[in-house]
Structure 1
Amino acid sequence: MRLDDLKLFTTVVELGSFSAAANALDLPRANVSRRIGELEKHLNAQLFFRTTRKLRLTQHGEVLYHELLQVVQGIEKAQEAMYQLDSKPAGKVKIGALPDSDELLQPILNQFQLQYPDIELDVRFSTNGYRDLYEQGLDLSFHVGPLQDSSLVARHITSINRFLLASPDYIAQYGAPESINDLAQHRCICYRWSDGRIEDTWRFTDSTLKVKPILSSNSTGYIRRSMIAGQGISFLPLLLAINAMESGELIRILPDCQSQSEDVWLIYPDRMGVSQATRALINHLLEHLPKIFDCRKTQD
């Protein structure tokens, strides 16, 4: 009976399925199923009720899981204490990044890996910061907006605002709106969240406006390129469009209209479960990201 198989068992329980555990640990699903089967054979006990709809612990599985929790956590802490004796952190860190934030993050992560060449980074882009932290087994993730899970550690990075943006070609063809209400007569491009919601209510500091999109997408990169192509007006965080603005491909419209601010957080599980490699990356991001945000805010 191997420690890795016991840790795999606890992961399956916590994530609720073989598939979720396989995804979180980067393993084939068949491998997870086989190893759990071998563990059951070794223990001579069935650990799960397997149905097509849900995975549920048996009585034996319940007992094993609760007894294992402290044991596995204790072994992981002991391993981490030994790793911390090394001169440099090593291992793999999975990070959940916001969509289309690669231009911002990549230089910072490249610098990190020059400093820590023995740390492997697995960067995954998603809007589901909270959910993917568990479902994909992420070590840390970015999140924008209100915090919903008090069991996580959340470090505030900055607050961002959205701006109305369009290309000079669009303005030349359709004219510039003179007020927020004029946007109802313009071609608007909206973001679609992963749960299917279209962000068609644009919130400003003193008003809200529901627009009718002529285009929606779950990719801010696609939205940005569509704006550059002259297809419409969108409401994006400036940080996702700063390069296009510097090149003159996009310009701000109605610059006096300010959006409600949104908080950007770095979230990760409780401090006791953070590896040395993850801690090094957290410290690096917290040191360098606010500088980047502050520098770009001065360009607003």
Structure 2
Amino acid sequence: MIRWLTEPVPRGRVAAFRTLVYLFVAADLVIFTPWVRTRVDVPGELYQPLLIGRLLPLPTPTPGLVAVVFWILLALALLAATGRAPRLLGWTVFALYFEWMIVAMSYGKVDHDRFALLVALAALPTAGRARHGDPTRSEAGGWAVRVTQIAVICTYFLAAWAKLRFGGPDWATGSVLARAIIRRGTDLADLIAQVPYLLIVAQFGILAFELLSPLVFRLPERWRHATIGFFYSFHLVTMATITISFAPHLVAMTSFLPLEKLRPLDRLRRRDPGTPVDEPGGQPSAAAGAELRPAPLHLHGGGSSTRPATAP
């Protein structure tokens, strides 16, 4: 079990995943959850903190507190995306984003699409330093990736458990998707809803998909990637029909992908435009070196000297 939890992964994968996660945190503040800043305008008695917020305990949010968290978190998330001070910046970003989420979810609605992202933010600081493109394998990095993957799959499986716990078997035969389409459906959803029994079949399919999701860990790598592609297509259809994006969850799900194959811009080094380069790291190739190497010049009398080779 320990070997599976700490299965080594390339440090380059950890670096790419870290950059992606921290960039999303910055984007989340300004694109997906800027409304959190407006929550503090409501009376304080409407703030009912989550259990963790009561245990710590955390203060009732004020405009000043939320503004400070917003601006510091935005700056530190962008800085952490560069890979600098992975532990110090990582833990700080996790703590601030955790507070941001507690404020967001303590007014009556709790989204479950951020669970895996929070796990990723908590685990990434433990992976230590990682450089983009580094093929060296790391057990610490493997643990951070694995626990994020587990959180992704738990999101699906526990969603099915909640459906059966609160709705029972009737959830699959009820009008859950029909109500969702009435509330927030798109034109595409309206077309789908006209097909007899299709929504019922879809509800059975969703339950089966969520309950069987843990099997992804038993699949060979090739089939696992194909299955993750199916997961993404499921969310694409969800977004196209009932406009639920699950963006934080989709970012965390990239932990299943070979992100080390990405070539980010920070790997590009400044090179002399006149130097032929066809090997990593900006080094001239053997052929180029042969063209630049001085060629011997034979003189009468048996001596030798050198002169630059003349290009043909």
> So what's the TM-score if we normalise by structure 2?
0.22
- Structure ranking higher in strand proportion: 1
Larger radius of gyration: 2
> So what's the TM-score if we normalise by structure 1?
0.22
- Structure ranking higher in helix proportion: 2
